[in-house]
Amino acid sequence: SAVARGPEVPFSSQAYRIVATARGKELRLTLAPLGTGEPCHLVFRFGMSGSFRLCPAEQLPRHAHLRFRTSESPPRLLCFVDARRFGSWRLGAGWEPQRGPCVLAEYQPFRENVLRNLDDRAFDRPICEALLNQKFFNGIGNYLRAEILYRSKIPPFEKARTVLEALKDQELAKRKKNPSLTLSKKLKMMQESPDLLELCHSVPMEVVAAEKNLLDPAHPDNYAAFKDWLQCYLVPGMSSLRDRNGRTIWFQGDPGPMAPKGQMPRKARAQLKADPKAPKASTRALRQQRRAAAQPSTLAKEEVVDGPRKGRARRRKAAAALASSEPEVPVRARRSLRTSARRGRGEA
């Protein structure tokens, strides 16, 4: 599209097949011509709102930045849709070198990569911030980190190295006790008492396994089933804080020793879970409602006293006559008294 930020795709073919491969938070599309010609590779990052949609050609969605037309009649379009334009694509088959092994498809290399590099400065940070570092946790995002920490009962602002070194020690102890553990026994142990790194694999796997039940392709904006699956993220009664990167982490209980100073944990409102599209009252309206509930009799009296505009003008003249016989009040003081009077009448 004209407003897309991605590069032009120098590929032309009357008929070709698209093959998709995922790794962590990246997706590689291979466009392979059915006749002669070299294949073209594109690697996508989805940002916060990027997705692919297959739709009739006459129903092109807004923000469809890259489109692939099918050969059927009438044709359909496979579109890369990204309303916020945080997503991107680049040419070439290579994965981004700064990203670690995938938490889903490369679980064992992922685990070894984390435990082998605990001296890295990334683990000086709270565990909730470390979990978003794609160099070690490729595939974990904001809602996943909240669900993983909630299930593992780890405070989000506990130091990452402290949490992960404990796992390393436990793993060494298990190997010494049972040096001949088979893979099936290891998997059974993982299911019975999963640790943090195991949850980094199993929680995203739940989403992938239940994708057809959680998200309806015919109604891509309906997230009711997905919200029911969530146990912590945006769930009423859970607390939230902003981390050093400005991302909100949802949790239950104590935030941990590295929690940001000067912030008070906020509770998730029930409205977020019940109906995210319900209109929200403005802060000003809520203040006025509270004030009216606290002082109903005072407001009623003042409304009666105010009366029509003519009466108000007479009262102003009388007040001016009285003020002329009294010592003059400083301008700043008079302004503040006037503002206070207005606020008392609910006119602020």
> Average of pLDDT values for 310-314?
56
> Average of pLDDT values for 21-42?
94
Burial 117-142 (b: 16+ CB within 10 A, else e): eeeeebbebbbbbbbbbbbbbbbbbb
Q: How far is CA 132 from CA 2, 115, 128, 253, 317, in A?
A: 32, 16, 7, 21, 67
Own/partner long-range contacts of 192-195 (Cβ < 8 Å, ≥24 apart): 194/151, 194/152, 195/152, 195/167, 195/170
3-state percent breakdown (helix, strand, coil) of the chain, nearest 5: 40, 15, 40
Amino acid 302: pLDDT: 41
> Average of pLDDT values for 42-55?
92
- Give the up-direction half-sphere exposure of residue 261: CA atoms within 13 A in the CB hemisphere: 0
Asked if residue 1 has pLDDT above 90, the reply is no
Count of Cβ atoms closer than 10 Å to residue 188 Cβ: 11
Q: What is the DSSP string of 249-272?
A: EEESS---TTPPTT---EEPPHHH
Amino acid 272: pLDDT: 44
Amino acid 36: pLDDT: 87
Q: How many helices (H) and strands (E) in the chain? A: 13, 10
Amino acid 224: pLDDT: 84
Task: Reduce the DSSP state of residue 41 to 3 states and report it.
Answer: strand
Task: Reduce the DSSP state of residue 109 to 3 states and report it.
Answer: helix
Amino acid 140: pLDDT: 97
pLDDT in tens, 189-248: 554 568 999 999 999 999 988 877 776 666 766 778 888 999 999 999 999 999 999 999
- Domains, the chain, ranges and CATH? 16-91 (3.20.190.10), 107-268 (1.10.8.50)
CA distance 348 to 330: 22
Amino acid 299: pLDDT: 40
Amino acid 343: pLDDT: 55
Amino acid 56: pLDDT: 93
CA 40, 211, 205: angle at the middle one, nearest 5?
Answer: 85
138-142, 164-168, 318-322, range with the lowest pLDDT: 318-322
The set of residues, in sequence order, having a beta carbon less than 8 Å from that of 298 and lying 6+ positions away, is: 344
Amino acid 303: pLDDT: 40
Own/partner long-range contacts of 69-76 (Cβ < 8 Å, ≥24 apart): 71/15
Residue keyed to tokens 């593992």: 152
Amino acid 211: pLDDT: 74
> Average of pLDDT values for 182-192?
53
> Average of pLDDT values for 176-187?
58
Amino acid 246: pLDDT: 94
pLDDT band for position 317 (cuts 50, 70, 90): low
DSSP state of 123: G
Reading the block at residue 123, the tokens are 């683990």
- Give the up-direction half-sphere exposure of residue 264: CA atoms within 13 A in the CB hemisphere: 2
17-26, 237-246, 321-330, range with the lowest pLDDT: 321-330
pLDDT band for position 258 (cuts 50, 70, 90): very high
Asked if residue 186 has pLDDT above 90, the reply is no
- What is this structure's pTM? 0.70
